[in-house]
């Protein structure tokens, strides 16, 4: 039997049905607040599919992300705040407004000039709404910590508050490591703060090296899982379990996994 083909109006109707009195008890229970975490999770899963170049999975994950938009819009409609058409109207008007080089008489801008103009128009929009009194308010506070750290640093860089080169950032990282060591010995309650400083500095280093810190960490997470899976697989081949093995055995297999990937063991 052929699966029916759905379009956007059908999706909106399905969501309305799920939220109706005769719909799904879980869907009816949700609110803007309870759904917030799912928006972030689905956005991360989209980026993971892109990183893996798994485009079939990407299509599925984009659908999951769209569901979050439709879900929130339905709740907005029920509360008389806004509906999906308002969401579409808002983003469409914003795109036209922020692309005068496409939809107005302005032409011939370079990608760099387009980016600068986008930020200028964005700042003007916020000023018109009474937002952005402070320079750093132009960076959203709702971003994940890693992404916000990078954007805050880029924002500060616009006015010259920045390191001159990656070496200077490396020196700062060494300083932050020393402060963690000192906190461990003298002020354990400050350890979390000092670790935060180190992470912020690591993002800064990645930025100066033109490395996407979020993507770099995703790849490292994938590498860690891949190598740990090798440990578990090899232990199973030996009739052992993770719980029944010691650190020395697992470290040896970790180094084996590195060699298989073409990375000579270090340390």
3-state secondary structure 86-113: HHHHHHHHHHHHCCHHHHCCCCCCCHHH
Under the banding of pLDDT at 50, 70 and 90, the label for residue 153 is very high
pLDDT in tens, 42-93: 998 998 899 889 999 999 999 999 999 999 999 999 999 999 999 999 999 9
Indicate the burial class of 83 (C-beta count within 10 angstroms; 0-12, 13-18, 19 or more): middle
Q: What is the CA radius of gyration of the chain?
A: 25
| Non-local CB neighbours of 163 within 8 Å, separated by 6+ positions | 169, 172, 204, 208
| Displacement of CA 121 from its chain's centroid (Å) | 24
pLDDT in tens, 220-230: 988 999 999 99
Q: How far is CA 136 from CA 149, 150, 152, 153, in A?
A: 11, 12, 7, 10
Q: Distance (Å, rounded) from C-alpha 25 to C-alpha 20?
A: 9
pLDDT surpassing 60 at residue 97: yes
Place of tokens 């339905």: 74
Under the banding of pLDDT at 50, 70 and 90, the label for residue 264 is low
Q: Distance (Å, rounded) from C-alpha 78 to C-alpha 203?
A: 41
The pTM assigned to this predicted structure is 0.62
Q: How far is CA 150 from CA 33, 136, 145, in A?
A: 26, 12, 9
């Amino acid at each position: 039997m052929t699966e029916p083909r759905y379009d956007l109006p059908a999706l909106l109707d399905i969501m309305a049905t799920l939220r109706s009195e005769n719909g799904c008890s879980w869907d009816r229970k949700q609110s803007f607040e309870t759904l917030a975490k799912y928006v972030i999770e689905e956005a991360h899963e989209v980026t993971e599919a892109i990183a893996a170049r798994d485009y079939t999975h990407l299509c599925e994950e984009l659908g999951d992300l769209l569901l979050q938009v439709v879900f929130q819009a339905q709740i907005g409609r029920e509360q008389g705040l806004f509906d999906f058409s308002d969401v579409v109207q808002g983003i469409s008007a914003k795109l036209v407004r922020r692309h005068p080089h496409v939809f107005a008489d302005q032409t011939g801008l370079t990608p760099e000039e387009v980016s600068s103009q986008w930020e200028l128009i964005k700042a003007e929009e916020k000023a018109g709404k009474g937002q952005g009194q402070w320079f750093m308010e132009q960076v959203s506070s709702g971003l994940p910590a890693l992404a916000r750290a990078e954007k805050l640093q880029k924002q500060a860089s616009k006015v010259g508050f920045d390191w001159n080169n990656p070496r200077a950032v490396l020196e700062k990282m060494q300083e932050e490591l020393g402060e963690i060591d000192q906190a461990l010995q003298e002020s354990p309650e400050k350890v979390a703060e000092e670790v935060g400083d180190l992470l912020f500095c690591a993002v800064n280093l990645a930025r100066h090296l033109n490395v996407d810190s979020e993507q770099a960490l995703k790849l490292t997470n994938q590498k860690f899982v891949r190598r740990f899976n090798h440990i578990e697989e090899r232990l199973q081949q030996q009739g052992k379990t993770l719980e029944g093995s010691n650190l020395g055995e697992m470290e040896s297999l970790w180094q084996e996994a590195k060699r298989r990937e073409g990375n000579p063991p270090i340390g």
